[in-house]
Structure 1
Amino acid sequence: MKKILIAEDNSMLSLLLKFRLEKEGYELLIAENGKETIALIEEHNPELILTDIMMPFISGLEIISHVRNTLKNSTPIIVFSASGQEEIVLKAFKLGATDFMTKPFSPNEMVNRVKRILR
C-alpha cells in the first residue's frame, strides 16, 4: 500500500483529503506543521508528499528543500497554496516541487493528480 503524507494546518481539508485518498486504497499520514512533516518523512519515507506552502514552524518551501537537498530524496511533492503568488510557485518548482495546486481545489482533481503521479 502506497503511503502519502499530507502536510496541512487546516484539519478540515486534511481530513477530507485523507478520507478521499484512503477510499482509493492509499495509506495516509497527516502532519499539522512543518516540524511534524519532516519527522514523518524521515520516519516513514512516503511515496508522495502533499504540502501546503504556509505552515507553522517550517514552510512548505523549506520542506521541499529538506527532502531534495538534505535527504537527497526524489519523492514526488505536490504543493498547494491559497495565494496564487507567482514567485512562490516558481520558487517551489525551482526547489524541486513536482506539481502545484491553488486552493481551494477539488478533492477529485487532487485524487486524479495523485493517481497519475503514483501510477
Structure 2
Amino acid sequence: MIEKKKIVLAEDNSVLSLLLKFRLEKDGYELLMAKNGMEAIELIEAENPDLILTDVMMDYVSGLEVISHVRNKLKSKIPILVFSSSGQEEMVLNAFNLGANDFMSKPLSPNELSIRVRRMFL
C-alpha cells in the first residue's frame, strides 16, 4: 500500500479549513490541521510533512514566519503553498522571497487547490 502524503494545513478560518480538509482527504492526502502559525510549526517539526499549506495572516505566528522557520531554522525544502486575501502584493512577494513555492489568493477554489497540490508532488 502506498503511504499517504502528509499535508500540514495552517488556516485560522475553521469553515475554510474544514472545506479544504474534506477536499484534500477526498484526493487521498492525510491532513494535519493547525489553527495558527505556532501550531503549524509544532506539527511541521513533529510530523515532517510532504507539503505545507499556510495562510499568511494568522494569530501568534504568521504564515511568513512559518515559511522563514521552515527554510532558515529547519533548513527544509518541503514545498510550501501560501494563500492570502487579494490585494496584498507586498506580502505575496515577501512569501516568495522567504521561500514559498506557490501562491493562491482567497477566496480559494478547492478544485484549483487540488490541482496545485497534485502538481507539487510531480
Give me the TM-score of the superposition, normalised by structure 1: 0.98
Return the match for 1:42 from 41, 45, 67.
Answer: 45
% same residue: 69
* Aligned residue type for 1:91: N
Match of 2:13 in 1: 10
What CA distance in whole angstroms lies between the structure 2 residues aligned with 1:99 and 1:44?
21
Return the match for 1:79 from 69, 79, 82.
Answer: 82
Gaps of at least 5 residues in structure 2 are none
Return the match for 1:95 from 95, 98, 102.
Answer: 98
What CA distance in whole angstroms lies between the structure 1 residues aligned with 2:49 and 2:15?
22
Count of equivalent residues: 119
* Aligned residue type for 1:33: N
SS, match of residue 15 in structure 2: helix
What CA distance in whole angstroms lies between the structure 2 residues aligned with 1:26 and 1:84?
30
Return the match for 1:51 from 50, 54, 60.
Answer: 54
Q: Deviations over 1:31-78 (max 9, x none)?
A: 001110100000001100000000010000000000000000000000
Q: Deviations over 1:13-37 (max 9, x none)?
A: 1111111111111000000011101
Match of 2:32 in 1: 29
Query: Shift of the alpha carbon at 1:84?
Result: 2.6
**Is the aligned partner of 1:20 residue 2:32?**
no
Gaps of at least 5 residues in structure 1 are none
Give me the TM-score of the superposition, normalised by structure 2: 0.95
The runs of 4+ residues in structure 1 deviating greater than 6 Å are none
